[in-house]
Structure 1
Amino acid sequence: MPTRPPRIAPCCGLTIAAGELCPCQRRRQQEARRAVDAKRPSATARGYDAAWRKVRSQFLAAHPRCVECGAAATEVDHIKPVAERPDLRLKWSNLRSFCKSCHSRRTARDQGFACQSTTQTANGHPEPTSRPPTPNRGVGNNFPAGRKTEPVSIASDFSEFANIFSRSR
């Protein structure tokens, strides 16, 4: 069940589900991705050839868990990037296993695309935020430090409301 109402796409006026892209937005996104990929060298040219695929497969078999969170590893990361040290490309001492989530986060941070985060999800991964942390968030109230709140009973207010409501009938 959707949690947000549908929206109207600004480009074509179609009504689409919240969080979805309309056909023209999807097409523009695919074209932009293709343009970036066209400028990028092939995977083989970047050092991810048959020799890499073999080493990667062997390394994952020997190191099946993510070094960050312990989940099943699906990615093999170079500690020293291939661009900096191509001689270490196939050396096990320069490799580490990551799950997809941890590898994406590490890559974003290393390449300067990561946002700052102070909160974590249930599995220990950082929860991305685009705003600076707010003091006292998640403490139970957002009052300035030192100011306390007291529990309030609403029973008396409710009985008074019930009396007024029953008299008006």
Structure 2
Amino acid sequence: MKPVAPPRLCACGKIVASGERCQCQIINDRARKARHDRRRPSARQRGYNHEWRKARQEFLKHNPRCAMCGQLANTVDHIIPHKGEDRLFWDKANWQALCAHHHNSAKQREEHRPVQS
């Protein structure tokens, strides 16, 4: 049987069970993400328009499986983040099909990892 870590004390002073997050942390994360989203351009402003939706649908028709796990894909991911650069945005060699799980977790962690020199 795997040992269970003891509860911990949150910065707010509440005791939190092992492996769980304090309600104050959840609220703070939501507020931080909302601030970020208010400053972020809309999906349309970032290039995800009708033309992209058509190209995405066509790409997924020919690449229906997640590049990471082989499950059905529902997202076209830019391997190298385009950061608004049209050449990278539309370069199909820079696209990969991903399932929602891998796009929203593994890929995001990878992109936010500090660059090592």
| Bin of the TM-score, shorter chain as denominator length | 0.5 to 0.7
**Largest Rg, 1 or 2:** 1
When the two structures are superposed, what TM-score results if normalisation uses the length of structure 1? 0.51
- Report the Cα distance in structure 1 between the residues aligned to 2:80 and 2:9, rounded to whole angstroms: 46
User: Runs of 4+ in structure 1 displaced over 6 angstroms?
Assistant: none
- Report the Cα distance in structure 2 between the residues aligned to 1:102 and 1:27, rounded to whole angstroms: 24
Tell me how far 1:73 sits from its aligned partner.
Answer: 2.4
Equivalent position amino acid for 1:59 in 2: F
Question: Could you give the per-residue CA deviations for residues 148-168 of structure 1, whole angstroms, max 9, x where no partner exists?
Answer: xxxxxxxxxxxxxxxxxxxxx
- Report the Cα distance in structure 1 between the residues aligned to 2:112 and 2:5, rounded to whole angstroms: 32
- Report the Cα distance in structure 2 between the residues aligned to 1:59 and 1:104, rounded to whole angstroms: 22
The count of residues paired between Structure 1 and Structure 2 equals 114
Structure in which a larger fraction of residues adopt helix: 2
Contact 2:46 2:84 in 1 (8 A): no
Long gaps (5+) in structure 1 = 117-169
Instruction: Give the equivalent residue in structure 1 for 2:95.
Output: 95
After superposition, where does 1:117-136 map in structure 2 within 5 Å? Answer: none
Instruction: Give the equivalent residue in structure 2 for 1:57.
Output: 57
Contact 1:77 1:95 in 2 (8 A): yes
Instruction: Give the equivalent residue in structure 2 for 1:29.
Output: 29
Q: Which has the higher contact order (CA 8 A, sep 6+)?
A: 2
Tell me how far 1:70 sits from its aligned partner.
Answer: 3.2
- Report the Cα distance in structure 1 between the residues aligned to 2:21 and 2:108, rounded to whole angstroms: 26
Contact 2:8 2:16 in 1 (8 A): yes
- Report the Cα distance in structure 1 between the residues aligned to 2:27 and 2:103, rounded to whole angstroms: 29
RMSD, aligned α-carbons: 3.4
